[in-house]
Amino acid sequence: MNPIPGTLLKVLVAQKSWRYRDFAAAFERAAVTAGLRNQTLSEAQFRRWTSGRVKTLPSPDACRVLEAMFGREAAALFAAPPRSVATTAPTAYDIESEIAMTARDAADEASTAAAQSVSDITIDQMRDDVAGLAMSYANMPPFDVFRAAKRLRRDAEYQRGATQVPVQQQELLILAGQACALLSTAAFDLGALDDATRLARSAALYGETARFDPLRAYATGSLAVVAYFAGRPSEAVRHARAALAFGGLGDVGRRRLLSIAARAYGHLGDGEQAGRATAAAAVLDTGARDDLHDGVGGEFAFDEERLVMSAATTALLGGNGAQAEGQARRALELVSARPLARQSTTVKAKASADLAAALLVRGDLEAAEEALAPVWEVPGDRRSAGLLDRVTALRSALTGPSWRTARLAVDLGERIEDYGRLAAGREVPAVEA
């Protein structure tokens, strides 16, 4: 006959042909005999004890009751049965009880598994919220973006802790990583470069954990941007190259990274490599797409006006004013061609600042002042670090010998100083690790 697997307790219960109510009655009687009152036993606890899956002993009081019931130590009851104890197969009555217990166990465990998941509707809503924030980013104050992205990352982590479903775990990792990437960009726009770096690395780690390379590439590209703004262009080039090596990227993602690489080379003074990267970004068109840069889009996208605007900035870094002017004007045309609600005030202001810088290169101060009109319209709480950096560079150019004594240059320089001084504070709220 086949042996009964499990513990000594299971064997002894089977030998007595006890069902739950029999065991519970004996348990309560033994508790009274042992001087323990109010000791009861649920059916679920009975099935766990007799299943052989108990990893730690029950409470001391429960152990005392069991020892009184069976005359054996609790540790022995929950161990494998000794050879001296008969372990023959259960009777027909016991088989029926075993089947019923197994069915109840399966139902309980299935219910537990169902409880360890989250609604797909909840995840759909979170996906929409992240995408909506990414789409709205360009026309929101960075601080507001930061607070919203902080909440989204926290919510994704909370839901991730509530599910044991692998596909939901991966989806929530990606959503938390996307929120973290937006946090990094907002921190950068607020001028907090160290925090932006830390958050970008966290976003890259989310992408690595979720095996989602477009997020890793986006976050690594953000590390490159922060690096060249922090005066580390060689590091920026390394990050850009590393990001371009990731697989699964569509054309939009690669164009962004090539443009970042071009800027990094421009900060290094390597005009040849900067030109190659700019040209490669402009002609890239394989039709490839990915779920972040194309699927989510918004701040994760890199539309044509941003591509052209970045080319203008790279041209300025190389001292090519004519090329920068042409690219900046083209970027402004592309922005203006969109419906008003979809025009990016960020791109418009940055391209206008680049145009003004290009006009100063060719000596047209009055045209440069006129070009800055969209820059002045940006409210203080939307003046990002990238925009302020461009305006500050203009202030520096106005102190050169050609403009130092010009009344218009002096007035424009003072207005630029006020512009930076009236920008929103750069304090970034903490984000939980």
Last-in-domain residue among 282, 302, 322 = 302
24 and 168 both lie in a single domain: no
Task: Let me know whether 153 and 262 are in one domain.
Answer: yes
| pLDDT single digits (tens) 193-218 | 999 999 999 999 999 999 999 999 99
In this prediction, residue 3 carries a pLDDT of 45
Q: Is the pLDDT of residue 281 over 60?
A: yes
> In this structure, are 410 and 297 located in the same domain?
no
What does the pLDDT average to over 70-84?
Answer: 84
Is residue 23 located within the same domain as residue 88? yes
Same domain, 214 and 298: yes
pLDDT exceeds 90 at position 226: yes
Each residue's pLDDT tens digit, 369-389:
999 999 999 998 889 889 999
Percent of the chain with pLDDT over 70: 88
pLDDT at 190 over 60: yes
Q: Is residue 322 part of a domain?
A: no
pLDDT band of 99, cuts 50, 70, 90: low
Alpha-carbon gap, residue 42 to 219, rounded angstroms: 52
Establish if 324 belongs to a structural domain: no
pLDDT in tens, 131-156: 999 999 988 999 999 999 999 999 99
423 pLDDT higher than 80? no
At residue 35 the predicted structure's pLDDT band, cuts being 50, 70 and 90, is confident
Is the confidence at residue 37, as pLDDT, over 60?
Answer: yes
Contacts of 177 (CB under 8 A, 6+ apart): 202, 203, 205, 206, 207, 210, 212, 215, 219
Q: Which domain holds residue 373?
A: 336-433
Look at residue 54 and tell me whether its pLDDT is greater than 80: no
Residues 184 and 49 in one domain: no
In this structure, the answer to whether residues 95 and 170 fall within a common structural domain is no
C-alpha span between 227 and 201 (Å, rounded): 12
Q: Please indicate, yes or no, whether residues 267 and 128 belong to a single structural domain of this protein.
A: yes
Provide the number of structural domains found in the chain: 3
What Cα–Cα distance (Å) separates residue 204 from each residue in 180, 185, 211, 215, 413?
A: 9, 13, 10, 6, 40
Q: Where are the alpha helices (DSSP H) in 230-270?
A: 233-244, 251-268
Same domain flag for 366 and 218: no
pLDDT at 107: 55
Q: What average pLDDT does range 87-102 have in this prediction?
A: 54
Amino acid 81: pLDDT? 83
Residue 327 lies in a domain: no
Banded pLDDT at 287 (limits 50, 70, 90): very high
For the cut 60, the answer to whether the pLDDT of residue 170 exceeds it is yes
Is residue 42 a part of any domain in this protein?
yes
Decide if 140 contacts 254 (C-beta within 8 A). Answer: no
Given 96, 115, 134, the domain boundary residue is 115
Domain boundary pick from 71, 97, 115:
115
User: At residue 310, does pLDDT exceed 80?
Assistant: yes
- Residue 175 scores a pLDDT above 70: yes
**SS3 state of residue 125:** helix
CA 190 remoteness from chain centre: 19
The full length of the chain comes to: 433
Cβ atoms of residues 384 and 423 within 8 Å: no
Candidate from 47-51, 90-94, 390-394, 408-412 with smallest mean pLDDT: 90-94
Q: What is the pLDDT of residue 1?
A: 38
Mean pLDDT value of segment 40-50: 81
Share of the chain above pLDDT 90, in %: 60
Residue 326 to residue 263: CA distance in whole angstroms: 17
What average pLDDT does the chain have?
Answer: 88
pLDDT level of residue 105 (50, 70, 90 thresholds): low
* pLDDT at residue 88, rounded to an integer: 54
At residue 295, φ and ψ (nearest 5 deg) are: -70, -45
Instruction: Kindly state the tokens that stand for 135.
Output: 């789409």
Q: How far apart are CA 200 and CA 218, in angstroms?
A: 9
Query: Do 147 and 256 fall into the same domain?
Result: yes
Question: Between residues 116 and 222, which one has the greater pLDDT?
Answer: 222
pLDDT at residue 228, as a whole number:
94
pLDDT of residue 245: 96
Q: 219 and 279, same structural domain?
A: yes
Confidence of residue 103 (pLDDT cuts 50, 70, 90): low
Lowest mean pLDDT among 29-33, 83-87, 92-96, 259-263: 92-96
Least confident span in 59-68, 223-232, 341-350, 398-407: 398-407
Burial class (CB in 10 A: 0-12, 13-18, 19+), 424: middle
